[in-house]
Amino acid sequence: MKRGLRIRWPAAHHRLLCLILLAGLLLMGLKTWLVLTLSGLAMGAMLFLMASGMTLAFGLLRVLNLAHGALISLGAFAGAAWWLAHAQALPHEAWRQWLALLPAMLIAMAVAGLVGALFERLVIRPVYGDYLKQMLVTVGGAIILVQLLQGIWGASPIAVPRPEVLRGSLIVPQAIPWLGGLALEKFRVLSAACGLVIYALVIHGLEHSGLGIVIRAGVEDREMVEALGLRMTPVFLAVFVLGAMLAGLGGMFWGFYQEMITAHMGDELLILVIVVIILGGLGSVRGCLYGALMVGLVNLYVGYLLPSLASVAVVGLMLAVLMWRPWGLVPVAEARTG
Amino acid sequence: MHQHVGRRAALPARGGRPGDRDLLAVHDLAVSLGEQVIIDGISLTFEQGSLTAIVGPNGAGKTTFFNLLSGQLQPDRGVIRLAGADITRMGMPERALAGFGRVFQINQLFAALTVLENVTLALTVREGRLASPWQRADQRHDVLTRAMACLEQVQLAGLAARPVRTLTHAARRKLEMALLLAQDPVVCLLDEPTAGMAVEEVPAMLDLVAQLHQSAGRVILLIEHKMDVIRSLAQRIIVLHQGRVLADDTPARIMASADVQAVYLGEPGA
């Protein structure tokens, strides 16, 4: 291909995201738009955490894991359990509270990862390659996990108060023109930042590590990697556990976001998660991020402008994208994941 | 690739009879898919350093035979030995590590990866380097150097950073040969390596096959339809027909054989 002057259109997922942002800006005031956009990004970041594991599991393992929602709940409960046990005793200095969030995150990831490992080994490995059995078995597994959660923590919702440092908002100083007085909720800033950092880490790992190349190659053609001489079983396990850990982390954030957890929260989120990964293109991590951001933004914009349509809007977005791009925004065949 | 010479030279000693030059041997190999018998009792041996063409009309079982050798398919009966060791029950990854390499009839590359990443993957898998998966793939200097050497051998070094999906068909076929070089197999299974190539591209590919053959000690099996390609490369031709070996001889005698003529003339278009 000769290099010449050629105007390059931005990729489809960039165009659509810009379009959504712009439409929002035109339909509401700047300040409202900024607040809603931040909330949308925060929601998108959490959805990305929850959905990325499922899209990778589908892309590489060819497993549609309908128990992914249960892993989300599990992470939320594990993180919250540690947090509730220690929240009272926390000193009030801000940095100690920040520090206390870290073990909660690690515990949520560790528990979800551990159960994910058992789940892959006991439930999913026997049904590789058979979609129908996978659906039945993973739904069964999800029911067992959710019932276990209910058995331990009860069926009624549990309140999870946010840490003090994460309550309230950052206020933009009045001196700044147009934006003065704008209140940005701290927790949303944190979750948006956290989601983007993890996205960067995952993409960097996929692009530059040896395991990353194997995963990308395996998403494209698993048998071919085996023909080169690599047993994929340990890779599958690693990817599944990684996905479960991210789901657990996302679940914990979602618990703080809603300040409330139930054993069924994951099942309810699973619908949004499935919309996100189909929208982004099954198996594509980059598509997953863009899908999640769009779902978050559309959900909040429409919720503000036309509240009665909020729940339909996200599904409408998915249908529109699928009619335009049947393989999702970033189809795996051409996904360069980064 | 000097570090691999030791491995290959050591191979025949592993359980093989001393002085035995037969690297690959199959005995009474058979497989059926459903009701249909595809391979019906094939027994063959292949010497180190030999290049054998496998021909036969469509449906003769050529590709299935390769699938049995590469481990993609398990035989119903029979034994496959590599350097004397029974490898019949080994799966595909284990056989690849034992030294089987394959170029498929249809392009088999990772289209979303770059040219260099494809070769790097083959090299790292080959050497079991994935034990430390977090090592940055693009900073492993020696792997990169050797990957580039493989690409230079097939004249693709200039395209190293290009995603495979942007390559032409001929370039992809060359890249497959580069992957094969990176794997450095002792048994090469080439399933129509010139399929779909333009006439002017074919000689370069034949050159690569010849190079693979010259670098000592391999067994090369070649499924091919083009007789001129076969004549220029192979010392031995095996004709498969309905899952059996119909003839096994030098090219000159095969071309003259009445049986072979009958099989081909009986099936126009094959």
Q: Is the pLDDT of residue A117 over 90?
A: yes
Distance from CA of B16 to the nearest CA of A (A): 23
Domain assignment of residue B38, yes or no:
no
pLDDT band for position A74 (cuts 50, 70, 90): very high
Domain assignment of residue B21, yes or no:
no
Backbone angles phi, psi at A56, to 5 degrees: -65, -40
3-state secondary structure A284-332: CHHHHHHHHHHHHHHHHHHHHHCHHHHHHHHHHHHHHHHHHCCCCCCCH
pLDDT band for position B107 (cuts 50, 70, 90): low
| Strand A169-171, strand A183-185: pairing | antiparallel
Contact with chain A for residue B7, Cβ under 8 A: no
Residue A330: closest C-alpha in chain B:
B112
Interface test with B, best of A203, A213, A225 (most B CBs within 10 A): A213
Q: Is the pLDDT of residue B81 over 90?
A: yes
Backbone angles phi, psi at B61, to 5 degrees: 105, 15
Domain boundaries, chain A: 40-267
Q: Is the pLDDT of residue B15 over 70?
A: no
Contacts of B117 in chain A (CB under 8 A): 213
Instruction: Check residue B269 and give its pLDDT.
Output: 43
Domain assignment of residue B41, yes or no:
no
Domain assignment of residue B202, yes or no:
yes
pLDDT band for position B13 (cuts 50, 70, 90): very low
Contact with chain B for residue A225, Cβ under 8 A: yes
Query: Domain range spanning residue B136?
Result: 50-72+90-266
Residues B24, B26, B27, CA angle at the centre, nearest 5°? 145
CB nearest to A220's CB, from B97, B112, B126: B112
CATH (domain of B222): 3.40.50.300
Domain assignment of residue B18, yes or no:
no
Which tens digits make up the pLDDT trace of B206-246? Answer: 888 988 888 778 999 999 888 888 888 898 999 999 999 99
* % pLDDT > 90, chain B: 34
Which tens digits make up the pLDDT trace of A157-177? Answer: 999 888 777 788 888 888 877
Gap between the Cα atoms of A49 and A198, Å rounded: 8
**Amino acid found at B175:** L
Contact with chain A for residue B58, Cβ under 8 A: no
Contacts of B91 in chain A (CB under 8 A): 226
User: Can you tell me the mean pLDDT for A115-144?
Assistant: 92
Instruction: Check residue B135 and give its pLDDT.
Output: 57
Task: Say whether A175 sits in a helix, a strand or coil.
Answer: coil
The total domain count for chain B is 1
Distance from CA of B266 to the nearest CA of A (A): 36
Is the pTM of the predicted complex or chain greater than 0.90? no
Domain assignment of residue B144, yes or no:
yes
Segments of A177-253 assigned E as strands:
183-185
Mean pLDDT of chain A: 88
Domain assignment of residue B82, yes or no:
no
Q: Is the pLDDT of residue B42 over 90?
A: yes
User: Can you tell me the mean pLDDT for A111-123?
Assistant: 95
User: Can you tell me the mean pLDDT for B122-146?
Assistant: 68
